[in-house]
Structures are given as structure tokens and as C-alpha cells.
């Protein structure tokens, strides 16, 4: 984490989005302690950065989801974040998911934090499988503290390339509070995550339908393997820091040019 924060600051970014996602990084619920928040806040402030959002995914249909989500909201508040990003869960757990969201809304309101629900990049049967489904759910909940984090790359892979993000995002724009930018190259051997602008996503077309001023975050899961278009698996070998640095710099330059 220390190296990541240093590199992100050196690249000229203004903020960093800490990510706690199973399969991406190793962590447990103790990561969201008061002490953990204080330590991380010190590292981030020391690098001259701020926190706009944290990604702290969980399945809101889980039995312990309410308590887990409450801990993430408190953690985000301690970091000064405006958004807590998580997946929702499965259509089969819709009633339970809505109950969990309703239960944490007062906490979000008190902390002035938006729960930003994200469309997933793999699997099936998700409650939010695309922009339209996400927007419909946000309208049903009817709270300014429950919105969407639209992941541009995820809609491409979740639909197995059948859905173009620039088409899917248009009906969801009014429900989107935050955006993840992710790119993926599509080849005979499957998908490979790339710097933004190096893959198959037509970001220029996406940019035409986005409202100005929408917060965006660059996401570079370069270590994840999706050969055969299978679910993502973290490769055992680390990506060389020089490669990460180059991908980050290319991504930032590309997004700035948009």
C-alpha cells in the first residue's frame, strides 16, 4: 500500500481509491478498524493525496452484510471519502439486499456518504447486470445516498462483449454518481487488462454521453488473468512495478486527453 500511494502521488494524481476486493487483494474485516483507518489516512495525507472513494465489495445478500457494510461506511468516513463502492448481489437475494441498503441509509446520511452500487464484470444472475437495471434499482430506492458506480469495462466483460458501454450507459446516466474506467484487450486466448485506451473499449464514444464533472477513477487490475474469458484469477507472479507505472502514466494521459 505504501508503494502504491507513493507511485500514485508521483504520477500526478489528486486522489487514491483504496480497494478491498476479494480475489484482488488479501484482507479480512479487521482492515476496517479505527486504527487501520488512522494509519491509512496518515499515509495518504503524507503523500499529498485525498480519498474520493473506497472500493470495498461484498455481497449484500450475505447474512452478515449489514454489519460489514456499516463498518465500511465508518471506515470511509474516517478517510474523508464521499463514496463506498460495492457490488449488490444476486437477483435471487433481492429482498435481502434491499433490506440491507435500507438499514444502512441513516448511517450514510449521517456521514454524508453515497453508497455506490457497481455492475459486476463476471458471473451471472446479478441484480445489477447493466446500466438500465442499476438505474431502475436506484429509482426504486429513491435516496440521494444510494447511486451507481458504473464500471465501463465490467459491462463489456459481463455481457461477453455483446453490450457496448457507450450504448448501455446512456439510460443510466442520471443514476450514476461515480465511474470506474477499466480497459480490456480481446483476443483468441481471452481477455487481458490493459492501460486505459489500449483495449477494446471505445472511450471516446463513452465520453460523449457522460455529464461533465462526474468523478472518475482509473482501475488497472493488471495482475488478473481472464484467459478463455473465465472468471478473473490473480496470477501468482507480481506485475513489475515499471510495467504498472507505464500503464498508469499512459492511462492518465489518455483520460486527460479525452
**179-189: per-residue pLDDT in tens?**
999 999 999 99
**According to the model, what pLDDT value does residue 25 have?**
84
Residues of the chain short of pLDDT 50, as ranges, are none
Domains and CATH numbers, the chain: 2-257 (3.20.20.150)
**SS3 of the chain:** CHHHHHHHHHCCCCECCCECCECCECCCHHHHCHHHHHHHHHHHHHCCCECCEEECCCCCCCCCHHHHHHHHHHHHHHHCCCEEEEECCEHHHHHHHHHHHHHHHHHHHHHCCEEEEECCCCCCCECCCCHHHHHHHHHHHCCCCEEEEEEHHHHHHHCCCCCCHHHHCHHHHHHEEEEEECEEEEECCEEEEECCCCCCCCHHHHHHCCCCCCCEEECCCCCEEEECCCCCEECCCCCCHHHHHHHHHHHHHHHHHC
**158-216: per-residue pLDDT in tens?**
999 999 999 999 999 999 999 999 999 999 999 999 999 999 999 999 999 998 899 99
**According to the model, what pLDDT value does residue 50 have?**
97
Amino acid at each position: 500500500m505504501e508503494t502504491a500511494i507513493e507511485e500514485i502521488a508521483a504520477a500526478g494524481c489528486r486522489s487514491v481509491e483504496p480497494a478491498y476486493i476479494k480475489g484482488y487483494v488479501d484482507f479480512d474485516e479487521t482492515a476496517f478498524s479505527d486504527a487501520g483507518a488512522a494509519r491509512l489516512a496518515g499515509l495518504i495525507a503524507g503523500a499529498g493525496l485525498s480519498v474520493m472513494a473506497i472500493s470495498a465489495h461484498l455481497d449484500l445478500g450475505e447474512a452478515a452484510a449489514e454489519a460489514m457494510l456499516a463498518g465500511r461506511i465508518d471506515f470511509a468516513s474516517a478517510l474523508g471519502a464521499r463514496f463506498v463502492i460495492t457490488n449488490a448481489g444476486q437477483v435471487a437475494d433481492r429482498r435481502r439486499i434491499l433490506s440491507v441498503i435500507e438499514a444502512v441509509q441513516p448511517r450514510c446520511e449521517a456521514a454524508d456518504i453515497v453508497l455506490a452500487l457497481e455492475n459486476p464484470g463476471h458471473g451471472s444472475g446479478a441484480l445489477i447486470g447493466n446500466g438500465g437495471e442499476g438505474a431502475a434499482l436506484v429509482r426504486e430506492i429513491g435516496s440521494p445516498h444510494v447511486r451507481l458506480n458504473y464500471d465501463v469495462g465490467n459491462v463489456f466483460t459481463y455481457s461477453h462483449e455483446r453490450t457496448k458501454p457507450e450504448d448501455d450507459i446512456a439510460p443510466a446516466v442520471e443514476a450514476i454518481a461515480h465511474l470506474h474506467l477499466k480497459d480490456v484487450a480481446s483476443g483468441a486466448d481471452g481477455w487481458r487488462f490493459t492501460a486505459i485506451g489500449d483495449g477494446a473499449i471505445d472511450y471516446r464514444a463513452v465520453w460523449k454521453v457522460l455529464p461533465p464533472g462526474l468523478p472518475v477513477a482509473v482501475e488497472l487490475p493488471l495482475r488478473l488473468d481472464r484467459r478463455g474469458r473465465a472468471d478473473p484469477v490473480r496470477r501468482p507472479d507480481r506485475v513489475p512495478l515499471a510495467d504498472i507505472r507505464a500503464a498508469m502514466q499512459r492511462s492518465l494521459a489518455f483520460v486527460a486527453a479525452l
